[in-house]
Amino acid sequence: MIFLSRIRMRGFKSFKNADISLSRGFICLVGPNGSGKSNVTDAIRFALGESALRSLRAKKVSELINTSSKHAEVTIYIDGDRKLEVKRAIKDDGKSGKCIYRINSKRATRASVMEALRPLGLEVGSHNIIAQGQVQRIIELNAKERRAVIDSVAGISEFEEKKKEAMNELEKVERKISDSGIILSERVAYLGELEHERDAALAHNDATEKRKSARYTIVKREHEHQGRQHYEIAQKSISAKAELEKATLELSSLDLQISSLEARRVELSAKVNSQSAREGTLKQIEELRVSISASTASLAERKKDLARIVARLGELSSKRAGQKNKSLALSAEIAKLRKELSSLDAKIGKMEQEQEAGTGTEISQIRTSLDSLVSQLQQLREQRASLASDISKSKEMHSMRLSEIQSISSTLPKLSDSRLEGERANLGAEIDSIAKEIDKIFSQEKDLNKNIPLLDRRMLELKEKHAIMRASASASATNPAIASVLSMGQHIKGIYGTVADLIKFEPEYAKAIEAAAGSRLTYVVVENIDVATAAIDRLRFLRYASCKGRCSRKESRNRQGAHGNN
């Protein structure tokens, strides 16, 4: 049990310097009128934090300070089960007075002093101190007012106020949870839309890559086919040259044989002229004639073969020249396309990286924010359930305390003084227990109220950030074709940009504009139909060119090797 063991006053009202020691039990102050008995109780109320000058029997601050001093201070010492030193000093500054509170010689605020005194039942405004005339006023109270006094003494009125405050806070939490659920559903729907768009973009990129690969395969096969034809023509030309050389050699050999036979014929003719040798050589002449006829026929046939070979050689040479020119033109075109496609491939790769990085960052941010919202929403729901459970328990305890108080009030006249003191002590212990439970509930409410504003600010910032991102982000971050069209503005005059880039609006209207406009925000604005046609033609060319440039290094080396073989 606690008791007031000492009161020290410096410059307070009629006390210039007083130090009063008190003992356990009943203390009575006696003395003539004006000796300062009431000032002692005023000093106790002053130290406990009483702020109403009327309750301290003063009209202004200067009346609390002794005439010989410029400030006043009162220190009370509480002893017993718990020791506590409470000091309050006041200085007259011409206004409301500057107060300084200390607990156990440490600087403190009035609120902290109230918190320290509440568990001890020494709160300001309670009925621990009964002022002059207050007993008479209590006797004259009606039943309802007397009930209010009993509730105040028992601490129930404070509980009712805290209960009302807790219900208001609970209602606010429920509204915030409802708002959080609406925002969360919107974020989930938006995330689904983004995932759908991402899947469509990935499917489009996959189809584009397959188309590029197929076109490159076709071009590569055509190039290889041209190379094989060129090689076959070259081989046929070499074979024809070999046949021509062989026929030329055979023709030369036949010419030599004919010359030899002609010389022999002349020689034999000379011999025939000779009568003596004519008969002997007739047979040889006839044999020579047969041999000459055979050689002439063979020569004619060889000349025909030679003419046919020469004609075939000319045809092959002409065809080879055409194939060579065509191969050179194709090689030049391929070299030009390689140079152009390497540049386009670098640009497209950079654009795709920016697109993937932008889309992936946005989705990651949204997923992170959604996870945070879900977690915080779950915490709010758990705290609301815990708070509702605590309030329900407190209501039950409240009902029980009311029943007990009513029972005690009805039996007060029948109890003896000792029995009354025992019941009062038990009731005080139970009230202390209720106060502790209420303080625990309010502590939980304070923690919850601290988290709710932070959550509100974070959700609002996230909502505004994503709404602005969705409404004002460049369309080129989600569509490579639009980025390509916008990049043509350097070469094609009359391309102004996308609708999202050209329009202006306040950030709070971004969500409404996005919902109303939809995909029209990505439309590209141009000067006229001619500019649109030129941009579309250019875009088709870039798509066809990019499909050739998107090949692996191994395929590039294969193309270079095929070109070298030609």
What is the rounded CA–CA span in Å between residue 562 and residue 547? 20
Confidence of residue 462 (pLDDT cuts 50, 70, 90): low
Residue 562 lies inside a defined structural domain of this protein: no
Determine which helix (DSSP H) or strand (DSSP E) holds 333, and give its type and residue range.
helix 275-411
What is the rounded CA–CA span in Å between residue 281 and residue 415? 186
Residue finishing a domain among 74, 95, 128: 128
Counting Cβ atoms within 10 Å, is residue 155 exposed (0-12), middle (13-18) or buried (19+)? buried
Query: Which tops the pLDDT comparison, 472 or 257?
Result: 257
- The mean pLDDT value for 1-12 works out to 91
For 521-566, give the secondary structure using H, E and C. Answer: HHCEEECCHHHHHHHHHHHHHHHHHHHHHCCCHHHHHHHHHHHHHC
Place of tokens 């609970």: 170
Answer yes or no: do 337 and 212 share one domain: yes
Residue 556 lies inside a defined structural domain of this protein: no
What is the rounded CA–CA span in Å between residue 56 and residue 60? 10
Supply the mean pLDDT for the chain.
74
User: 209-213, 411-415, 491-495: which has the minimum mean pLDDT?
Assistant: 411-415
Give the burial string for 162-177 (b: 16+ CB within 10 Å, else e): bbeebeebbeebeebb
Answer yes or no: do 116 and 251 share one domain: no
Contact (CB, 8 A) for 149 and 141:
yes
Place of tokens 């002059």: 132
- The mean pLDDT value for 300-320 works out to 68
Answer yes or no: do 226 and 352 share one domain: yes
- The mean pLDDT value for 102-124 works out to 87
Residue 14 lies inside a defined structural domain of this protein: yes
Query: Which tops the pLDDT comparison, 312 or 142?
Result: 142
Q: What's phi and psi for 9, nearest 5 deg?
A: -125, 135
* Integer CA distances (angstroms), 92 to 42, 65, 67, 99, 256, in order: 18, 8, 12, 9, 151
Name the pTM for this structure: 0.33
Look at residue 73 in the predicted model and tell me its pLDDT. Answer: 95
Look at residue 532 in the predicted model and tell me its pLDDT. Answer: 86
What is the rounded CA–CA span in Å between residue 223 and residue 253? 45
Q: Is 33 left (phi over 0), alpha (psi -120 to 50) or beta?
A: beta
C-alpha angle 243-246-248 in degrees, rounded to nearest 5: 110
Look at residue 102 in the predicted model and tell me its pLDDT. Answer: 95
Query: Which tops the pLDDT comparison, 501 or 340?
Result: 501
Answer yes or no: do 238 and 95 share one domain: no
- The mean pLDDT value for 517-543 works out to 81
User: 229-243, 451-465, 531-545, 550-564: which has the minimum mean pLDDT?
Assistant: 550-564
Query: Which tops the pLDDT comparison, 82 or 281?
Result: 82
Contact (CB, 8 A) for 230 and 564:
no
Look at residue 7 in the predicted model and tell me its pLDDT. Answer: 95
Confidence of residue 12 (pLDDT cuts 50, 70, 90): very high
User: 51-65, 259-273, 459-473, 499-513: which has the minimum mean pLDDT?
Assistant: 459-473
Q: What's phi and psi for 76, nearest 5 deg?
A: -115, 145
Question: Is the pLDDT score of 229 beyond 70?
Answer: yes
Model confidence pLDDT, tens digit, residues 28-86: 889 898 888 889 988 998 998 888 888 788 888 888 999 888 899 999 999 988 899 99
Question: How many domains does the structure of the chain reveal?
Answer: 2
Look at residue 537 in the predicted model and tell me its pLDDT. Answer: 80
**Residue 281's Cα: distance from chain center in Å?**
119
Answer yes or no: do 79 and 218 share one domain: no
Residue 313 lies inside a defined structural domain of this protein: yes
| CATH value at residue 303 | 1.10.287
What is the rounded CA–CA span in Å between residue 186 and residue 512? 13
Contact (CB, 8 A) for 428 and 121:
yes
Residue finishing a domain among 316, 341, 363: 363
DSSP for 176-229, please give it: HHHHHHHHHHHHHHHHHHHHHHHHHHHHHHHHHHHHHHHHHHHHHHHHHHHHHH
Answer yes or no: do 351 and 232 share one domain: yes
Q: Is 77 left (phi over 0), alpha (psi -120 to 50) or beta?
A: beta
Tell me how far apart the 2 most distant CA atoms of the chain are, in Å: 205
Answer yes or no: do 90 and 207 share one domain: no
Residue finishing a domain among 320, 348, 363: 363
Answer yes or no: do 233 and 101 share one domain: no
What are 290's two structure tokens?
């047969």
Contact (CB, 8 A) for 495 and 489:
yes
Look at residue 104 in the predicted model and tell me its pLDDT. Answer: 92
Look at residue 550 in the predicted model and tell me its pLDDT. Answer: 45
Look at residue 248 in the predicted model and tell me its pLDDT. Answer: 81
Answer yes or no: do 210 and 338 share one domain: yes
Place of tokens 């982000």: 473
Answer yes or no: do 226 and 112 share one domain: no
Residue 518 lies inside a defined structural domain of this protein: no
Question: Is the pLDDT score of 429 beyond 50?
Answer: yes
Answer yes or no: do 69 and 210 share one domain: no
Residue 424 lies inside a defined structural domain of this protein: no
Model confidence pLDDT, tens digit, residues 125-169: 656 677 667 778 778 889 888 887 777 767 676 677 788 888 999
- The mean pLDDT value for 293-311 works out to 71
| CATH value at residue 121 | 3.40.50.300
Closest CA to 262 of 298, 291, 300, 303: 291
Look at residue 72 in the predicted model and tell me its pLDDT. Answer: 94
Counting Cβ atoms within 10 Å, is residue 318 exposed (0-12), middle (13-18) or buried (19+)? exposed
Closest CA to 338 of 31, 563, 32, 49: 563
Domain of 294, in residue numbers: 203-363
Model confidence pLDDT, tens digit, residues 367-399: 565 566 556 656 666 766 665 666 666 556 656
Strands 3-12 and 71-79: antiparallel
Answer yes or no: do 100 and 244 share one domain: no
Confidence of residue 439 (pLDDT cuts 50, 70, 90): low
Q: Which residues contact 154 (CB under 8 A, 6 or more apart)?
A: 401, 405, 427, 431
Residue 258 lies inside a defined structural domain of this protein: yes
Residue 534 lies inside a defined structural domain of this protein: no
Question: Is the pLDDT score of 294 beyond 70?
Answer: yes
Radius of gyration over every alpha carbon of the chain, rounded to an integer in angstroms: 57
